[in-house]
Structure formats: C-alpha cells, structure tokens
Amino acid sequence: MIPAALAPDAGRERGVTLIELMVVVLILSLSLTIVATRLDGITSNSRLKASARHIGSTIELLQNQGIVNGRFYFLQFDLTDNRMRWIIAPEAAREGMDLEGETRELPWRTLERGVVMEDLTFDDGVRKEDERINVPFGPTGMTWGFQVHLINEEGRRYTVEANSVTGLVSYYPYRKEFEEVPEELF
C-alpha cells in the first residue's frame, strides 16, 4: 500500500479544467439563445397589449379630467410617428374646437417597440391614416366614439374602442370594425 503523501494526486485538489468550463458556457449560451427567440413572440404580444392598455387608460383619464374640471382636453394621435399626447385647451374653449389662446401640450408618448397604429376610425365611418388627429374630451366626457387599430410586427392586431354613448373603453384582441346601425332605429 502506498502512503497517501506519495500518491500521484497528492497535494493536488480536484477542479474543473478550462475546456470543461468552456463547454458548459457554450451549452448555456445556446440554451439562452433558443429561449430568447421563443420569448420574443411572447413579449411582442405583451407589447401590443400594453400599448392598447396605455391608449385606453389615457382615454379614460382625459374623459374624467374633462368631466371633473369642466373643460376641454384633446388626445392628439400622430399616426405617422406612432405617438400620442394630451393637449390642454384654453379655459375659454367651447365645443372643444376653439384652440385660440394658450394651450398646453404635454410631451409625446410613443407606443411600445414594434407596435404600429394602423388607423383611427370614428363611429360615423370616417377613417384616418398617416396624419395627426385631435380627439376632444369635454365637460360631458367623450364627444366622439372611435377605434384605434394596432398591429405588431408579427401581424397580430388589437382594437381599442371608445364608446361616446356609454363612455366605456373596450379592448379586442383582433381588428374590430364599428357595426352599422339600421336606419329604422333612428
């Protein structure tokens, strides 16, 4: 029997070689790459939903501000650059269209990365694309019903609908169009 002090591995601690460490790092990086590409689709849909919720909560906020403060506010959509902002109308503004006087424009807020506003459709059937639109909110709440249609880079769609009659904001995980009301109901 060989004494422990004379054994070939005596005095050396067992450890990991550089090659073993590199193999482990390579396996981990490949695994993370695969997981990250799969998660991108999930995060893309999350960004679409987050953009829809942001637009909807801004609509609700401006509606409430108009009612509580008894004045007009605008939500300005810039469909060309995928952004929106508030405009606070002068106190003398009536019907929300008179912007003569000092207005206060808040900074632009862009949508989440990869999300695009396709168009904005009003409840009278008018569709706007590639322009700036001011949507008024006044002392009675929403003055116009409208829909904002969103799409992400994967082609998934979301619709944010603001109902001028009920004041409700609804969300649809697809492109929804306004339904036509039969003439006999008028």
pLDDT at position 42: 65
pLDDT at position 34: 77
The confidence band for 11, taking pLDDT boundaries of 50, 70 and 90, is low
- Percentage of residues in the chain with pLDDT exceeding 70? 80
Please, are residues 82 and 130 in contact by the beta-carbon 8 Å criterion?
Answer: no
- Percentage of residues in the chain with pLDDT exceeding 90? 52
pLDDT at position 158: 96
37-46: long-range contacts, CB 8 A cutoff, minimum separation 24: 41/154, 44/114, 44/152, 44/153, 44/154, 44/156, 45/152, 45/154, 45/156
The confidence band for 3, taking pLDDT boundaries of 50, 70 and 90, is low
pLDDT tens per residue, range 13-68: 677 788 888 888 888 888 887 776 666 556 888 999 999 999 999 999 999 999 99
Q: Write out the CATH class of domain 18-178.
A: alpha beta
Q: What is the mean pLDDT of the chain?
A: 84
Task: Taking residues 144-158, report their average pLDDT.
Answer: 95
Please, are residues 89 and 130 in contact by the beta-carbon 8 Å criterion?
Answer: no
pLDDT tens per residue, range 71-106: 889 999 999 999 999 998 877 565 545 556 678 899
pLDDT at position 92: 59
In this structure, is the dihedral angle defined by the CA atoms of residues 179, 172, 63 and 94, taken in order, positive or negative?
Answer: negative
Task: Taking residues 3-19, report their average pLDDT.
Answer: 66
Query: Where along the chain do its domains lie?
Result: 18-178
pLDDT at position 107: 95
